[in-house]
Amino acid sequence: MKNIFFLFFAIFNLTFSYVNIHPTFFDKRIDFNGSYQEYTLFNQSSNTVLYRIYVEPHSKGSNKDMSDWVNFYPRSLTLKPGESGKIQVDIASKKKLEAGEYSAVLGIRELPIYEKVVSEKGAGLSILTDLKLVLNGYAGDINPNLQFSNLNIDINKNTITLNGSVKNIGKRRGKYELYLDEYFLGNLRIHSNEKLDLNALDFKYSGEIKNKLKKELLIIDYIDKKPIGKIKL
């Protein structure tokens, strides 16, 4: 039966439109005046692609819905191969909300272009992209609270490796940049009550170490680039 299944798909000429978007998160405050984020959408396919942009509720998980407060522009984008375009997203409740995390889905759906449909008529099956990016925001004065355990560093020639674990005991998720002195080790995104193994995430600097290390781990908020903590190792 499996052989028939694969043969069935082999007779079609499949056309995929590969989509890349940056950044892939929101993680900002949405109550009262809210926050703004600009996303860059890349067309990595070999075809010109028309994308429809939409918003819908995020039904999974316990997060509260914020889809009614999402304003975005444009409603559609046409991108040539290798071209990129901007999507502007503003999320603001304009009122006080119950403290906590909220979510919505930013959808990016490929629509068939008339010229493409005509040229491919009878050529087989085309699969259209439907990307759903979950956006998370928060209301109230709630913050992540990072708790590091068993931290240590390995220094081998021109390589610095960070070992240990981290848990977010705060009430919302966040994203951070980790540095040992001035040397960038990597980015960390962690949900509330989540615990991560730093070894598995490969926090490492590879390159020339110019100065004697003070061995201080610096944690920088990815959104506003402000230091939130420093740990002596």
Q: pLDDT tens digits for 160-183? A: 999 999 999 999 999 999 999 999
Choosing from 139, 159, 179, the residue where a domain stops is 139
Q: pTM here?
A: 0.82
153 lies in a domain? yes
Tokens representing residue 200 in the block: 């598995």
**Within this chain, do residues 86 and 35 fall inside the same structural domain, yes or no?**
yes
Q: Which parts of the chain sit beneath pLDDT 50?
A: 1-17, 117-118, 122-123
Query: Which stretches does DSSP call E strand in the chain?
Result: 19-22, 28-29, 35-43, 49-56, 64-65, 70-73, 76-79, 84-91, 100-111, 130-139, 146-156, 159-168, 174-180, 183-190, 195-197, 204-206, 216-221, 227-232
Phi, psi of 32, deg, nearest 5: 60, -115
Does one domain contain both 40 and 66? yes
In a domain, 164, yes or no: yes
Picking from 139, 159, 178, the residue at the C-terminal end of a domain is: 139
Both 130 and 190 in one domain: the answer is no
Does some domain include residue 6?
A: no
Same domain for 182 and 98? no
Q: What is the CATH number of the domain that holds 186?
A: 2.60.40
Residue 188 bridge partners (DSSP): 176
Domain that residue 197 falls in: 146-232
Q: Point out the domain boundary residue: 139, 157, 184.
A: 139
User: For residue 4, what pLDDT is reported?
Assistant: 39
Q: Which residue(s) pair with 101 in the sheet?
A: 138
> What is the C-alpha to C-alpha distance for residues 77 and 52, in angstroms, rounded to an integer?
7
Q: Which of 15, 13, 12, 17 is nearest to 131 (CA)?
A: 17
**Is the distance from CB of 54 to CB of 61 less than 8 angstroms?**
no
Same domain, residue pair 31 and 133: yes
In a domain, 45, yes or no: yes
Residue 19, Cα to own-chain centre: how many angstroms? 14
Q: Are residues 180 and 78 in the same domain?
A: no
Do residue 110 and residue 32 come from a single domain? yes
Amino acid at position 101, single letter? E
Q: Are 47 and 116 in contact (CB under 8 A)?
A: yes
Same domain for 119 and 152, yes or no, is: no
Percent of the chain with pLDDT over 90: 76
Cβ atoms of 175 and 193 within 8 Å: the answer is: no
Same domain, 71 and 124: yes
Domain count, the chain: 2
Shared domain for 130 and 26, answered yes or no, is yes
